Amino acid sequence: MKKNWYEKSWVILFFLIAFPLVGIYLMWRYDPSNKIVKILLTILFITWAVARVTYR
């Protein structure tokens, strides 16, 4: 079965960097990674997104 464009790893990574909230959703919905990895990446990218918004 062919993956949709938004299910591909490079797209998820792009969205994690460019639009963290969308990337986090895509990661939890479509990435088959370990749950511990997903939790750590979620914490990392939420922290990064908040820092990016607050420290301008």
Model confidence at 54, pLDDT cuts 50, 70, 90, reads: very high
The predicted structure's pLDDT at residue 30: 94
Residue 17 is predicted with a pLDDT of 93
Per-residue pLDDT of 6-46, as tens digits, reads: 999 999 999 999 999 999 999 999 999 899 999 999 999 99
Calculate the alpha carbon distances from 11 to 4, 44, 54, 56 in Å: 10, 18, 26, 27
Show me where the domains of the chain are located.
5-54
Residue pair 49/21 in contact (Cβ under 8 Å)? The answer is yes
The pLDDT of residue 55 is 85
